[in-house]
Amino acid sequence: MTRLSVNINKIATLRNTREGNTPNVKLAAINCEEFGADGITVHPRPDERHIRYSDVRDLKPIITTEFNIEGYPSPSFLELVLQVKPDQVTLVPDSPEAITSNAGWDTIKHKEFLSEVVSALKRAGIRTSIFIGADGKIAEGAAIAGADRVELYTEPYATAFPYNPEIAIEPFVKVAKIVADLGLGLNAGHDLNLQNLKFFNQSIPNLREVSIGHALISDALYLGLELTILKYKECLR
């Protein structure tokens, strides 16, 4: 069964609209795990507009499943993750002003930089995943950089899915086979939801983990967090 990592950034976004600690980010993480999540994902950004660096430090001792920290490998980000030592770090190429992730790495252009970052993380015993588009050459570049896994950027799939699911999934199936041949683990994330997740999971071989935040937290406003997580888990069976 593909594992579900819940991205709790949106919980922190809501909290940060007012002073105080409501909703409580730590309690949200605990509840997600109790309701069946296989992991917790956070993506701290330099302006701390949602998850703060202090949240990351506070979450580490209480997470009992898997802790995945996403982010651009700036000096401050690397200092944080090397201190916290999560189970996995997912490297994304976001600029500081990006609202959300909107592209994968060019692993060929940034080979030396990514190789240095991955090497530092692996020396600390941290599994490293590189966020990429559905491109076989880019997947090969991630392997050359030393990554343990890649995370497929799935917004193009989600955008095309309502019109033609078979066409939407085709490039992701192709790259998933290349990733397997390279000996890399395969994760996926971005705009996956209750409408498109089941088809994606059934179509992609060797998919280990999906990271879902915006859609899942939005659904929880209507369905409740426990039922929402159960529904997402059903899509992954």
Residues labelled as active-site residues: 43, 70, 190
**Count of CB atoms within 10 A of residue 82's CB?**
14
User: Which residues, listed in sequence order, are joined to residue 67 by a DSSP beta bridge?
Assistant: 40
E strand or H helix that includes residue 175: helix 165-181
Q: For residue 189, which of 130, 139, 136 has the smallest C-alpha distance?
A: 130
Is the dihedral angle over the CA atoms 223, 229, 232, 237 positive or is it negative?
Answer: negative
User: Which residues, listed in sequence order, are joined to residue 88 by a DSSP beta bridge?
Assistant: 68, 127
Residues 65/39, Cβ–Cβ less than 8 Å? yes
Whether cis (ω within 30° of 0) applies to the bond prior to 23 is yes
Distance between CA 186 and CA 149 in Å, rounded?
6
Q: What are phi and psi of 158, to 5 degrees?
A: -65, -35
